[in-house]
Structure 1
Amino acid sequence: MEVLAERVQTHARDLGATFAAFADLRALPKEVRKGLPIGISLGLALDPAIVTEIADGPTPAYAAEYERANRRLEDIADGCAALLREGGYKAEAGRPTVGNVEAILLETHLPHKTVATLAGVGWIGKCALLITEEYGSAVRYNTVLTDAPLPTAEPIRTSRCGSCEACVLLCPVDAVSGREWTPDLQRDDLYDAFACLDHAYDLVQSRKIRHAICGMCIAACPYTQRYIERARAAPVGPEGAST
């Protein structure tokens, strides 16, 4: 079990992942996890030099980084799934959220951040982004579902945001409610996804970018700021960051 886990994590890093963590999904409905009990949370940290530039909104460089991360995460998930299938296990590679969002509800059947919290990667922030201790919310995610016997982590079930309201105060459309996350909360309890998306669509024209993205709350997060400061002190690319 441990040998297989190390092989998967090494393979994921070789393909460009910042980290790979394992979650027990058996408490979730079978239909959302395709009947498979294990989720592999794949994370790719965004370039801190680019993230630091989006405090006032997205830039063309950030949009390009967003695309790069999504493409790389597709390849990483495909590669990890192929490795597991070669070993005789079932494995289904996911796609980054941009390709899975339901147009009406703006939600996914199995959010990558849900798998990440169950894998002990981080918690959900007040702006509904996943926050990690090491990279803040400057991470893109993908998921592989499998029946491989991988050792799973202890889930994170409590927020570590505390009294921080950086993302609440910064949001230009007041989309963030300010409530602190617990696993039983619904997305709408945390933030207004439609207000956020409407603003992001406005930015497509005003910022001349291809995707409806904002990113201001990513840059505002104190955990993200610590990631940026560490990178300034000892510059490394997001894929070369320690895990």
Structure 2
Amino acid sequence: MNLENDFKKYILELGADQVGFADLSEIPGEHRQHLNYGISIAKAIDPEIVRYIASGPNQNYYKEYKRLNAELDQIALQVSEKIKAMGYEAIAKTTTTVASNESLRTDLPHKTVATRAGMGWIGKCALLITKDYGSAVRLTSVLTNLKLSTATPINESKCGNCTLCTDVCEGKAVKGINWHLGMEREAYYDAKACRKEARKKCDLENIESTICGQCINICPYTRRYIKI
């Protein structure tokens, strides 16, 4: 019996598209609820939806965004309950437990767990970039003290000289600088500028959430996934 393979199969059967296991022990304990392991779970955005957000968000993208968030919440809850039934601690980092604030930060972003799980890197646009789906993914995480064999973390960007997300960002939030482990987000990305521009676009489409999608659509890895 291989615990990691069995868990991965289980989570994929629940509807995930990608799963990874992360060693979080180097992250401050208070940010990970003093649990040393993280399970990163991703679902891919429907490629048909991604093809039509080149100019920004629309109602179909908003519906897909909400659908994926709801499904990821359910997967994370089921995974955490399974771990608890085994006698270990587990916390599902659902959309109701990951709080936003004025700094537009959370103590432990899902994408941080994903990079620690070897699932991708942080792009110039501050989104997780995966080889299979580009940035066309939604993420969730489960924190646990169940000991897992973990992946090799990805500690630096693989975006190279690409500037497509920088060029397409109408809010000038993307600075065109490659991420690496330990870099402050403000060095390569302006979250408030992104939010301001996205809010403007969402107001035009009567969308309650603040989303955009242009940098998702333009990413070369995303375009390989959606076959553009």
What's the TM-score once normalised by structure 2's chain length? 0.96
Q: Where does the alignment leave 5 or more consecutive residues of structure 1 unmatched? A: 233-243
Render the CA deviation track for 1:161-208: whole Å, top value 9, x for unaligned.
000000000001111111111112111111111011111211222012
CA distance in 2, matches of 1:33, 1:99: 13
Counterpart residue number, 1:151:
149
Match of residue 27 from structure 2: 28
> Is the 8 Å Cα contact of residues 171 and 193 (structure 2) preserved in structure 1?
yes
Could you tell me how far apart the structure 2 residues matched to 1:72 and 1:182 are? Answer: 30
User: How many angstroms does 1:60 deviate by?
Assistant: 0.5
Alignment map for 1:202-213 (pairs within 5 Å): 202-213=200-211
1:103-182 maps to which residues of 2 (within 5 A)?
103-182=101-180
- How many angstroms does 1:101 deviate by? 4.2
In structure 2, the residue matched to 1:10 is: 9
Paired residue for 1:219?
217
Report the alpha carbon displacement of residue 99 of structure 1 after superposing the two structures with TM: 6.2
Shift of 1:147: 0.9
The residue type paired with residue 150 of structure 1 is L
Identical-pair percentage: 45
Q: Does 1:60 align with 2:59?
A: yes
Q: Which amino acid aligns with 1:145?
A: L
- Specify every segment of 5 or more residues in structure 2 that has no aligned partner in the other structure, as ranges: none
Pair 220,99 (structure 1): closer, same or farther in 2 beyond 3 Å = farther
Aligned residues: 228
How far apart are the structure 2 equivalents of 1:4 and 1:210?
41
Root mean square deviation, CA, Å: 1.3
Letter in structure 2 aligned against 1:156: I
In 2, Cα distance between equivalents of 1:155 and 1:114:
10
